């Protein structure tokens, strides 16, 4: 399977390196990503990491904004100017730079979370908190929806 799926927490060693989960590495390879590109999430202390096609997604988002507005310029600045490339060493590890630490609050451990076409890096406790919120939002959504929808409904 070549989608980023599931999550894992790995430790950062004394030299500031962390192993990217083996499953994610194989996805990276099967997708033919030569390098990984990381972008800071706007309102969330997480990094989105993926191939260069990750940029396409963000550029599509920018395209929805009025190019004369400040928002579009801010977004463009953010996406194009505030990203970084991550390089694997021979053991499949990347080094956790200040670029990563500042935005995420990561110190000693990194939580990797699959997101389909990309994955995220989190500080584990912040991930847990955010996950609980996301879950609560989905539950509210489900209770507000009419039962008997087709595609996404759980048989219950």
Which residues contact a second copy (rule: CB under 8 A)? 1, 3-7, 35, 37, 41-43, 48, 52, 55, 57-62, 64, 68, 70-71, 73-85, 99, 113-116, 120, 131, 134-135, 137-139, 141-142, 151-152, 154-155
Q: Quick one: 75 or 111, whose CB is closer to DNA?
A: 111
Cβ(113)–Cβ(23) below 8 Å: no
Residue 92 interacts with DNA (CB under 7 A): yes or no: yes
Interaction of residue 135 with DNA, rule CB under 7 A: no
Choose from DNA, a second copy, none: what does 91 bind? Cβ within 5-8 Å by kind: DNA
Q: In angstroms, rounded to a whole number, what is the distance separating the alpha carbons of residues 118 and 3? A: 8
What is the spatial distance between Cα 55 and Cα 145, in angstroms, rounded to a whole number?
33
Distance (Å, rounded) from C-alpha 61 to C-alpha 24?
Answer: 25
What is the SS3 assignment for 74? helix
Shortest reach from residue 18's CB to a second copy, in Å: 18
Structure tokens belonging to residue 39? 């972008």
**84 is a site residue for DNA (CB under 7 A):** no
Q: Output the six-digit token pair for 89.
A: 């060493």
| Residue 14 lies near DNA (rule: CB under 7 A) | yes
Per-residue interface string for the shown chain with DNA, residues 16-35, x marking contact by CB under 7 A: xxxxxxx--xx---------
Beta bridge partners of 19: 93
Supply the minimum distance, in Å, between the C-beta of residue 51 and a second copy.
Answer: 11
With a CB cutoff of 8 Å and minimum separation 6, the contacts of 55 are: 37, 79, 80, 83
Q: Which residues are at the interface with DNA (CB under 7 A)?
A: 8, 10-22, 25-26, 87, 89-93, 95, 97
């Amino acid at each position: 399977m070549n989608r980023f799926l599931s999550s894992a927490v790995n430790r950062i060693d004394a030299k500031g390196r962390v192993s990217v989960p083996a499953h994610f590495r194989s996805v990276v390879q099967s997708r033919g990503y030569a390098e990984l590109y990381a972008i800071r999430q706007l309102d969330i202390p997480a990094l989105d990491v993926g191939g260069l096609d990750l940029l396409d997604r963000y550029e599509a988002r920018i395209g929805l904004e009025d190019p004369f507005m400040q928002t579009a310029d801010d977004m463009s600045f953010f996406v194009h100017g505030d990203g970084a490339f991550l390089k694997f060493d021979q053991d499949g590890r990347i080094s956790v730079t200040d670029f990563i630490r500042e935005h995420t609050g990561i110190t000693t451990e990194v939580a990797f979370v699959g997101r389909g076409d990309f994955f995220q890096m989190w500080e584990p406790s912040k991930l847990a908190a955010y996950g609980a919120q996301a879950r609560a939002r989905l539950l509210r959504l489900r209770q507000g929806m009419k039962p008997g929808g087709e595609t996404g409904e759980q048989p219950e």
